Amino acid sequence: MGKALDISLYKNGFGYQNVDCIQSPIAAAAGYFNHDNYFYYCFLHSIAGNFENHSQQDISVYSNKILCKMGLRLEKIDCSGCTPEDVISMAAEEILFGRPIIMIVKYNSLFYNMYYKNMGFRLNHGLLVNEFNESNKTFCIKDQFYRDILDTYKNAFFPLHITFDMLKNIWLDSNKQFRSQSATCADSIYSMYQDEEVELDTNKAINIALSIMDGKSELINLIQNFDGTKDFDSNIVFNRLRFCGCLEPIFHVLEEQCVHKSFDLVHLQKTKKKIEDIRSKVINALGKASRRCEKISKERKDDLCKIAAEGDALLLNLMKTLIVSESEKKLINHFVDITEYYNNQAFEESFRDDSRADITGEGTHYIFQDVVVNEEWKKGNFSFNYSYLPDRSDNISCNGQVVCIPQINAQYISILGCSEFGSYNEKIVVEYSDGSKRVITADFSDFFQPPIFGERAYWTGAAAERRNGRTRYHSFNARLFAKRYRIEPGCVVKIHLPNKRNVHIFALTLSDEVFL
């Protein structure tokens, strides 16, 4: 037994040129609670890094200014007085409670790194730990560093399974160096907590970003404080990341907003190019002077500050034009009673050899834990009422059932479900009181993997297999996925399910949208 926290590879994420190697795993850890949190965190961090110098702060102090907007918190765990074994055991316990771990380590402590044991290379690095297996005492870490080894997806968070002792030695070797440097992360690990359910979208994220952009930019501060030493050039990679590379995560969210709201993408791309050119010009000018140990005249500094301010104004004005004032809306949810159509048992109350649950027909089933049943089960903007009784059928294995509805006015249908032995796109027919019918295509990802069709992983738990009278845990998680579909507004009287037994539905919600 153990626990694996589903965190995406983020194949379409950002590289070390855009987000540094400590903030990036924090963003991915936030993505455990909601996939898109990764992109919103990178966006807000990229904005904040332009207006705040956080290099001397503990990572939890800085990160929590962003994470609190997502209902999250990075908790610093004090490990003073603990043995290295105690520290790694605490990390395992946090994972078992469903909280991803961030460890700040040294590159030279990573056995898979080219700088391993090179004490002349002492840069810091962030490790994301998302899985612990109690049976063999192994952990899974996710690290973008593998991009140099596996370049199919150069920015992806590839998993690496390591032993308890391997992780212990990484932390121990790093911590010795942090102690000698009196670093704020010495004798510490960090755990990601969720304090409340918060559902961000691009519009909300841009609004939050605008509230951050209320001070003098750090690029202007750098220009004004430039003293002609080599310090700027020594940090040229970080400075390019902070002021130029950051534009990728910023414009990723701005582009999504344009797509969602049907805004002009050409203007967005032209503005991005202008800002890139402006910032590159400033960074190049400072870098050239720094390499030569040349001071810059006040007149030249004023010119560079003016140029930098123009770039900031372009970004600020663009973001203001992308904000949409949306009327406050509310969904009126109607939970559809589908219990009479249940014909399959997926959940078993406990892990045991005489279980009867079998979602696949080959003995695989879910272990009932942390499932909200027989009452409203709300996560983010989703809401279901999953009807459940132990040791009975608890879901629909679809074979063309027609679910009768007591005349409900609806504009959306939300489905809590999954598939097995493959992922499927299936037709569902919605029938209205006037006799008309409309077809939607619903997506069902295979429960053994994270969602592949953009669904939300609504529940994740243990999967087990019963074979030859013995039950064993699977090495993968069980999952239920949620997705909402817009339908033709009207009075719904029937829902015609697909004829695909591999597709399972656990709950249905019909929703009507009203403006307040």
Q: What is the mean pLDDT of each run of 10 residues along the chain (516 residues)?
A: 87 91 97 95 97 88 97 98 98 96 96 89 94 93 67 67 97 97 97 94 96 89 93 91 97 95 92 98 95 94 96 96 82 97 98 95 96 96 96 98 97 98 98 98 95 93 93 92 97 98 99 85
Is 0.85 topped by the overall pTM? Answer: yes
User: Is residue 449 located within the same domain as residue 349?
Assistant: yes
**Which residues fall within 8 angstroms of residue 277, CB to CB, at 6 or more apart?**
none
User: Is residue 254 located within the same domain as residue 214?
Assistant: yes
Q: And the tokens for 102?
A: 């961030």
User: Is residue 312 located within the same domain as residue 379?
Assistant: no
Length of the chain: 516
User: Is residue 104 located within the same domain as residue 239?
Assistant: no
pLDDT value of residue 324? 87
Per-residue exposure over 182-206, b if at least 16 CB sit within 10 Å of its own CB, e if not:
ebebbebbbbbbbeeebebbbbebb
Neighbours of 295 (CB within 10 A): 13
Of the three residues 322, 344, 359, the one that is the final residue of a domain is: 322
- Rounded to whole angstroms, how far apart are CA atoms 158 and 92? 20
Q: Tell me the one-letter amino acid at 66.
A: I
User: Is residue 130 located within the same domain as residue 271?
Assistant: no
Of the three residues 147, 177, 194, the one that is the final residue of a domain is: 194
User: Is residue 126 located within the same domain as residue 213?
Assistant: no
Neighbours of 167 (CB within 10 A): 25
Q: Cα 233 to the chain's mean position, in Å?
A: 34
Of the three residues 171, 194, 217, the one that is the final residue of a domain is: 194
- Rounded to whole angstroms, how far apart are CA atoms 137 and 429? 48
User: Is residue 140 located within the same domain as residue 284?
Assistant: no
Cα separations (Å) of 124 from 17, 346, 497? 16, 45, 53
What CATH number did the domain enclosing 52 receive?
A: 3.90.70
Kindly report the backbone phi and psi dihedral angles of residue 49, in degrees, each rounded to the nearest multiple of 5, phi listed first: -65, -20
pLDDT value of residue 153? 46
- Rounded to whole angstroms, how far apart are CA atoms 79 and 313? 45
Number of alpha carbons in the 13 Å side-chain half-sphere of residue 321? 15
- Rounded to whole angstroms, how far apart are CA atoms 354 and 401? 30
Domain that holds residue 397: 329-515
User: Is residue 156 located within the same domain as residue 206?
Assistant: no
| 494 three-class SS | strand
Q: Give the chain's domain count.
A: 3
User: Is residue 136 located within the same domain as residue 249?
Assistant: no
H or E stretch at 506: strand 503-515
pLDDT value of residue 113? 86
User: Is residue 318 located within the same domain as residue 427?
Assistant: no
User: Is residue 56 located within the same domain as residue 160?
Assistant: yes
pLDDT value of residue 150? 46
346-351-356-358 Cα dihedral, nearest 10 degrees: 30
User: Is residue 214 located within the same domain as residue 135?
Assistant: no
**Which residues fall within 8 angstroms of residue 163, CB to CB, at 6 or more apart?**
137, 138, 139
